[in-house]
Structure 1
Amino acid sequence: MKMMNLLMGSSILLFSCSKALQQSPDLPASKSQASSVAVQNTAALATLSSSWDLVFSDEFNSTGSFDASKWTYSPRWSPAWAKYLTSTSDYVAQNGTDLVLRMDNAVIAGDPVPYHSGGIQTSTKFSFLYGKVEVRAKFKQGQGSWPAIWMMPETPVSYGDWPNSGEIDIMEHVNYENSVHQTIHNGSVTGPSGGSSATKTTAYNTADYNIYGIIWSPSAIQFYVNNVLQYTYNRAAAATSSQWPFDKPFYLILNQSGGAGWPGAITNADLPFNMNVDYIRVYKEVPVLGNPGFEDAALTPWGNWNPAGNTAVVTTNFRSGAKAIRQQGGETSLEQVITGLSPNTTYVFGGYGKVSTAGESAMFGVKNYGGAAVNTAINATSYTNSSVTFSTGATNSSVTVYMYKPVAGTAYGDDFYFNKL
């Protein structure tokens, strides 16, 4: 949103100070709700349900100063957004229900700037790589006002100076506009004046709180307003850091700025400017194995590959519930891609399997996780629990799990599971 705002002139009216987007599942209105994402496996496009763990939040229900274990003041320095930042509780404070970020033209002895404004950030306190962010906030319109909710890399020059190391603007607003801006900055989309071609403007409720959010994955950043997907910025297939510097931890920033750069001069009669933040929440995706017992009476989100046999959900030979999976005939494979894994982390995949006749064989296994395929044989004629353990690679965040029958015969599977160790 901001690092280049000293350079931003009239051309910035074409683009928001930072950002990019597209469409998918709703953000949850509360911390316990889940969403779903589409994943591709070797056989079919499957829909995988994902759950989310809350890893950071601030409900701002206290009074007085902010929680210093989570936040620090954003310091005053040269970019336009930071020109008037002031590190006192007059400009950042909790009122019992909200965090209030303020901007005014009060005179402060020993600080002879024409305006003072508030901002806080989680740098050195909390940063994260991939997840979901949700912020409920409202703000006052006014000439020269510039509230923002955004993210910057914890290591600011991982891929070079701004904008090369990236910026994610969850929400920005200026002046009396009836829309908010959601934007990506990087070395590919940010121009020499600081504007970005990867940006979306969206109408919002000007009189009340709105929920602003993103879902950030290894392949895309999705932007939401009031739980509706507005825009998706996708990682290119052969992306370099210029197009996708978003593989490093980022921290959060909340600020009420103005009077310089993009919004232009302040009309003093419109002061004070306030942004009220009801809450901010960050979630990490919990890997979920979809349809583990086939009680949905369908394969989805599993895909199947049947060069010589067939795969079907059946209502006989189940271990529990009322259904199981059957692989019959020649070679056949049942597969599912699980996303949201952490790199360099150990997981287990398993289930219960059996074959119809002694001497037949199938297997459970994993592949495409950053290491060699791992499998375990299924050759008992009664249901037997079998599992494989694997560790993701240094840059891998997904795995393909499978049940594979390489030769003629019939095999059954039921009650699959997937867990982090």
Structure 2
Amino acid sequence: MVALLKRYRYCIIFLGILLFGLTSVLVFGDNRDDSYSKLNYDDWVLDWVENFDKQEIDTLIWSKIPRGKYAWNDMMSDDDRCFDLRNGCLILRGILNDNKSNDTSKYLTGGIYTKYKKSFSPGRFEFRVKINGAQGAWPALWLRPFKQGKNYPWDGEIDVVEHLNFDPYIYQTVHSYYITKLKQFNPKHSKKAQINIDEFNIYGVEITEDAVTFYVNGEKTFIYPNKELSQNKDQYPFFQDWFILVDMQLGGNWVGAIDEEDLPVEMEIDWIKHYKRVRK
């Protein structure tokens, strides 16, 4: 018997390792970054994914966000220094502008959106992102209605992530006419969620007829309900088609002063996914 064991000891060792591996997957999960062990996907089907694995940003889907008059876009630039594709990630930067030959702004920031190009139906959105931190940095992942109204953001906005400076948490928020104009804050429309800014995190939101539900790494963080399932679009304009925005920004009254020694600052976006709900 001992001789037999010695003869087949390598086979036994290999089978033991294989059995341990299979047991680990069954007990602990496979630890893949692109899945939630805590969420039920039975009611959802993957509709679209952006992996940023090409050499250039797909301009059939994305456009660089132009400069605007609001605090979130008043430093937006198409300068190549604000954008990169690295190791399968989109890199968006906030930088000190040391070359003012084409743009006199002191600071420049990068952002992209699918506005006018690709719409997404109500469903589940997921973003795998490493935010990083800098004093004065204000990166965001958010959604706005594909059919734009005249009264932004009264016609609806969903902020999946807004992050300030080096905070160990993010803000997840909805905006509407009911909240912005009528100043109705019941139900609550915003909440903080704890994160580790030194790591990639998966940020999610589900949009249904009933509610907008936010997640961080598969943990439910916040729910904004459709009160009594009413048809009041002032209170719940969120069951509509959206476009995606991903952007870096610097400064403003909310985030505070910029520390130039912290620049450039990067946000790294690994992937973005959209799921449609399965009707049963």
TM bin, normalised by shorter chain, reads 0.7 to 0.9
Alignment partner, residue 195 of structure 2: 204
Matched, 1:166 2:145: no
- Cα pair 1:143 1:265 within 8 Å, conserved: yes
- Greater helix content: 2
Alignment partner, residue 355 of structure 1: none
Alignment partner, residue 177 of structure 2: 187
- Cα pair 1:35 1:51 within 8 Å, conserved: no
Q: Which amino acid aligns with 1:100?
A: I
The 3-state SS of whatever aligns with 1:146 is coil
CA distance in 2, matches of 1:87, 1:95: 18
Alignment partner, residue 135 of structure 2: 143
Give CA-to-partner distance per residue, 1:376-412, whole Å, 9 cap, x none.
xxxxxxxxxxxxxxxxxxxxxxxxxxxxxxxxxxxxx
The 3-state SS of whatever aligns with 1:189 is helix
CA distance in 1, matches of 2:144, 2:253: 19
- Cα root mean square deviation, aligned: 2.4
Alignment partner, residue 47 of structure 2: 55
Give CA-to-partner distance per residue, 1:325-380, whole Å, 9 cap, x none.
xxxxxxxxxxxxxxxxxxxxxxxxxxxxxxxxxxxxxxxxxxxxxxxxxxxxxxxx
How far is the alpha carbon of 1:239 from its aligned partner? 4.1
Alignment partner, residue 132 of structure 1: 124
Give CA-to-partner distance per residue, 1:175-216, whole Å, 9 cap, x none.
1211001000011223699x9951110110121100000111
Matched, 1:264 2:260: no
Alignment partner, residue 26 of structure 2: none
Q: Which amino acid aligns with 1:216?
A: I
Aligned counterparts, 1:405-416, within 5 A: none
- Cα pair 1:134 1:213 within 8 Å, conserved: yes
CA distance in 2, matches of 1:259, 1:114: 11
- Cα pair 2:38 2:218 within 8 Å, conserved: no
CA distance in 2, matches of 1:178, 1:32: 22
- Greater strand content: 1
Q: TM-score, normalised by structure 2?
A: 0.81
Alignment partner, residue 221 of structure 2: 230
CA distance in 2, matches of 1:174, 1:60: 25
Aligned counterparts, 1:222-371, within 5 A: 222-237=213-228, 238-288=230-280
CA distance in 1, matches of 2:165, 2:253: 12
Aligned counterparts, 1:39-54, within 5 A: 50-54=42-46
Q: Which amino acid aligns with 1:201?
A: K
Give CA-to-partner distance per residue, 1:300-343, whole Å, 9 cap, x none.
xxxxxxxxxxxxxxxxxxxxxxxxxxxxxxxxxxxxxxxxxxxx
Identity %: 30
How far is the alpha carbon of 1:52 from its aligned partner? 2.2
How far is the alpha carbon of 1:53 from its aligned partner? 2.1
How many residues were matched structurally? Answer: 245
- Cα pair 1:170 1:223 within 8 Å, conserved: yes
The 3-state SS of whatever aligns with 1:90 is helix
CA distance in 2, matches of 1:233, 1:249: 18
The 3-state SS of whatever aligns with 2:80 is coil
CA distance in 2, matches of 1:111, 1:125: 27
- Cα pair 1:136 1:280 within 8 Å, conserved: yes
Q: Which amino acid aligns with 1:117?
A: T
The 3-state SS of whatever aligns with 1:77 is coil
Relative distance call for 1:35 and 1:210 in structure 2 (3 A) is: closer
Pairing partner for 1:66 from 54, 57, 74: 57
Q: Which amino acid aligns with 2:172?
A: Q
Bigger-Rg structure (1/2)? 1
How far is the alpha carbon of 1:276 from its aligned partner? 0.3
Give CA-to-partner distance per residue, 1:115-164, whole Å, 9 cap, x none.
0000000112211221111100012211110000000011120xx50222
Relative distance call for 1:258 and 1:191 in structure 2 (3 A) is: farther
Alignment partner, residue 104 of structure 1: 95
Structure 2: segments with no counterpart, 5+ residues? 1-31
CA distance in 2, matches of 1:50, 1:232: 20
- Cα pair 1:62 1:96 within 8 Å, conserved: no
The 3-state SS of whatever aligns with 2:57 is coil
Alignment partner, residue 94 of structure 1: 85
Give CA-to-partner distance per residue, 1:9-32, whole Å, 9 cap, x none.
xxxxxxxxxxxxxxxxxxx96479
The 3-state SS of whatever aligns with 2:191 is strand
- Cα pair 1:32 1:52 within 8 Å, conserved: no
How far is the alpha carbon of 1:263 from its aligned partner? 0.7
Alignment partner, residue 152 of structure 1: 144
